[in-house]
Amino acid sequence: IKYLARHVVAADRLAMEVASLYRRVLPTPPAVEFASPEGRRLFAEALEGGTMEGFFSLVPHFQTQSEPAFCGLASIAVVLNALAIDPGRRWKGPWRWFDESMLDCCEPLHVVRSQGITFGKVVCLARCAGASVRCFRADHAAVHDLRAHLARCASSRDCHLIASYHRGHFKQTGGGHFSPIGGYHAGTDMALILDVARFKYPPHWVPLTLLWEAMNTTDKTTGFPRGYLS
């Protein structure tokens, strides 16, 4: 019986190992990995063009989402900390700092953990935390609006854009997702997605028109299209 039990445990452990995942291969194209030679070139050119200013505010506060469904919460936490907004309450010890666990004023964390979060609730959470927010659903904007808005935000350290989009348009696995946009390359019309699911995909550049198409998709939970907020 002991021998059999050991083999059952070993089989269960092997099954768990097979079922687990370590990252995904980023589909390129359409994306360009940030750390690749082409990705570094795009970064250098965008930096020279002045549309990477927001990147330097976001990166010191960038984090990986702590739960598979916490992409919206992680994106908000990154942006709130980048904007140096004081949460007015302690995180741990004496420190006041935005963390995903503190973003529960519009949707209980256990609901987000099991079901994810909608575009409207992300906007609600950002406002509840003290941010001045403008939101744009894809059915009330156009790609040129996104381009102009991103170019302005990417040129400033006081404005950050969070995209709500469907991964399928980038040939990535998964569905609806939130992540901050870290910069813009005007010459190639590409946006830098700072993917908060870093356990899955690294930061990557994508064509802005394709990002717009990924935003212009319907969230089946609400029946409304996705979009962006800043």
Q: Give the span between the Cα atoms of 100 and 9, in whole angstroms.
A: 35
Q: Which is catalytic among the residues 135, 149, 153, 195?
A: 195
Q: Which is catalytic among the residues 71, 106, 135, 159?
A: 71
Exposed / middle / buried, residue 75 (Cβ in 10 Å: 0-12, 13-18, 19+): buried
Q: Tell the residue number behind the tokens 């209980």, with chain if given.
A: 108
Residue 185 a catalytic site member: no
Q: Which is catalytic among the residues 160, 177, 185, 204?
A: 177
Q: Give the span between the Cα atoms of 221 and 230, in whole angstroms.
A: 23
Residue 177 a catalytic site member: yes
Hey, which residues are catalytic here? 71, 177, 195
